[in-house]
Amino acid sequence: MAFSDRLLSAWYEGHPALALLRPLEWLYRGVVQRKRERFVAGVGGIYRSPVPVLVVGNITVGGTGKTPMILWLIEHCRRKGLRVGVVSRGYGAQPPQLPWRVTAEQSAAVAGDEPLLIVQRSGVPLMIDPDRSRAVQALTAAEPLDLILSDDGLQHYRLARDLELVLIDAARGLGNGRCLPAGPLREPIERLQSVDALLYNGANSDRADGYAFTLQPTALVNLRSGERHALDHFGPGQQMHAVAGIGNPQRFFNTLQALHWQPEPHAFADHAEYSAEVLNFMPSLPLVMTEKDAVKCRAFAADDWWYLAVDAVPSQAFVTWFDAQLLRLIPDRPQP
């Protein structure tokens, strides 16, 4: 098990050695709290977008279903007649310049895996730049927009925001409740009191402090041909190699098991790089991966490589609440 995996396990399952990291945690908390205080006070060159900005983020290290939720938000806002754009840090991307407009034909090495997935699925105007304020300025200069979604960026305090949605893994929660490096939190738990809504990925129903959403498998897509097949393309008991390079790989493996398949799990680091050699598993079986991994593997995929398409499905209570927020932020929005 890699060190990062052992540390993640310790954060969520507990380990007494984490107490040794508490002095570093105090230093970290002091830095992030000062950044937050400066933002609240309006100090430090904060950029205000000409259109509303909605941040979709988390306060934990690890996956919480952020990309599927952003895709749902894009489509939902479009059905309301809104012109939507997205800005992202573009983790791992190496574009020729910044800011960089992501297009569907680019490689994940240039665009980053998550931004490329979002553009290929939705065609949304998307700009990457670690400086999200600069990304917003470039995007609004290039496109007439009604709303911008910030992919992550909850802690990017140089960008003013009109709405903050925080996603939490319902099964793992907030781990031991401590900040980095003694725990998985990017900001103290108290930060959640100032956000607009919490969404719990995998919750069976809404909670007193937030809304439920699930990730629903919708299809199997062949990496080489692009053919989409219903989930019954593989029958119950189908054996397969399962690849996941996401923040919480076990969630993906659990999903495959819930579909009554028998996956042989192969967990990789978040944003992992792949090659045909790395994915040459034995015995020879169909290989099923996440869509985020698939955008990096199409060029060398074998005939029996697939990705599982999933869609975010939020609760009706969240949809009602979100529609009210859109009406508040964009009262003169066009009608669909």
CA 163 to chain centre: 17
The secondary structure element, H or E, covering residue 36 is helix 22-40
| Contact indicator for 311, 68 with CB cutoff of 8 Å | yes
The position carrying tokens 């939490």 is 168
In this structure, are 254 and 272 located in the same domain? yes
H or E element that contains 164? strand 163-169
pLDDT of residue 8: 80
Residues 47 and 107 in one domain: yes
Query: What does the alpha-carbon distance between residue 90 and residue 302 come to, in Å, rounded to a whole number?
Result: 27
In a domain, 250, yes or no: yes
Convert 9-47 to b/e letters by CB count within 10 Å (16 or more is b): ebbbeeeeebeebeeebeebbeebeebbeebeeeeeeee
Q: Please give the Cα distance from 297 to 277 (Å, whole number).
A: 11
Q: Please indicate, yes or no, whether residues 176 and 104 belong to a single structural domain of this protein.
A: yes
> Are 120 and 71 contacting, i.e. CB atoms less than 8 angstroms apart?
no
| 42 shares its domain with 89 | yes
Q: What is the H or E stretch that residue 217 is in?
A: strand 211-222
- Give the number of residues written for the chain: 336
Residue range 93-132, pLDDT digits in tens:
999 999 999 999 999 999 999 999 999 999 999 999 999 9
Ranges assigned E (strand) in 170-250: 197-201, 211-222, 228-229, 239-244
Number of structural domains found in the chain: 2
116 three-class SS: helix
pLDDT under 70: residue ranges of the chain: 1-4, 333-336
- pLDDT score of 336: 58
Q: In this structure, are 192 and 61 located in the same domain? A: yes
Domain containing residue 73: CATH number: 3.40.50.300
With beta carbons less than 8 A apart as the criterion, state whether 82 and 326 touch. Answer: yes
Shared domain for 80 and 198, answered yes or no, is: yes
Residues 42 and 128 in one domain: yes
State whether 208 and 221 are in the same domain.
Answer: no
Task: Please tell me the predicted confidence (pLDDT) of residue 2.
Answer: 62
Query: Is the residue at 131 inside a domain?
Result: yes
pLDDT in tens, 275-321: 999 999 999 999 999 999 999 999 999 999 999 999 999 999 999 99
Amino acid, res. 237: G
Any domain includes 158: yes
Domain that holds residue 26: 3-212+314-329
The structure's pTM equals: 0.94
